[in-house]
Amino acid sequence: MHTVDFDLPAGTLLRCGGALCVTSPEMTLLRACAGLSLVERLKLAYEYCGCYSIRPELEGGLVIRHPITSLEELGLCLESSIGMTGAKQLRRILPYVRNGSGSPRETALVLLCCLPKKHGGFGLPFPRLNVSLDLGSGSAKLWGRGNAFDLVWEGAKVILEYDGELGHATSDQRNRDQRRREAAQSAGYSVFALDKRRIESVSDTFAVIEKVAERLSFRLRFPSGFRERHLELRSQLL
């Protein structure tokens, strides 16, 4: 049991009934950050701001749900929590957190692409996640919420997707994804994808991200020691 001898910021205790209270998602994450590495903090923050919960005891290991907080709410919590244990560690990762990740592998893909090179990432600009695009007349009717793409750089018209367990997808799902990506290409987007096998290959990951960087007009330069830092990041994410 932990106790504190100071007032908690307003809104960080949520009453469950009677005398039972729990801390808000934002305060729970802030306090957890104190004992975690940078990558562990990022993975937890993406889960809180994303659409999944990791549940190893369940088949598939995930629960799909609405986000329980957001980058914006975490920022507001930090403003009222200066000096609290975990606040400094949470503040350090917020520039690298984005809303809306759909799975741990999507989170890994974002961080591999966009974390600064000093942390082992490629340093690309951060995309928006799970973005529904206007692909012309009838696109919303054709795909509805399935029109969302994983990583989207809208200004440069670049899409990067993570293909999950393709062997578990039905023929209809694969055909639907193919038609959706063809529609994006017809609308002027460059579409790239990594599946489970390819993201676990260093050379395949480099090849795809180099193509994404080229479309973003982003010049990749790898400083001394980058490969070692990148391999360490991969070991923590995949």
Q: Which residue has the tokens 């973005």?
A: 131
For residue 196, the SS3 value is: helix
For residue 220, the SS3 value is: coil
d(CA 21, CA 24): 9
Both tokens assigned to 10: 């307003």
pLDDT for 60: 86
Is the Cβ–Cβ distance between 99 and 129 less than 8 Å? Answer: yes
Is the Cβ–Cβ distance between 13 and 63 less than 8 Å? Answer: no
Residue 53: Cβ-neighbour burial (10 angstroms; 0-12, 13-18, 19+): middle
Domain residues of the chain, as ranges? 1-100, 101-238
CA 114, distance to chain mean position in Å, is 10
pLDDT for 141: 47
What is the chain's pLDDT, residue by residue, as a tens digit (238 residues)? Answer: 556 555 667 677 777 777 777 889 999 999 999 999 999 999 999 999 999 999 999 888 999 999 999 999 999 999 988 889 999 999 999 999 999 999 999 999 999 999 999 999 999 999 999 998 888 755 544 544 457 899 999 999 999 999 876 445 567 777 888 888 998 999 999 999 999 999 999 999 999 999 999 999 999 999 999 999 999 999 999 9
pLDDT for 140: 47
Nearest CA-CA partner of 181 in 121, 139, 119, 126:
139
CA 84, distance to chain mean position in Å, is 26
Is the Cβ–Cβ distance between 99 and 71 less than 8 Å? Answer: yes
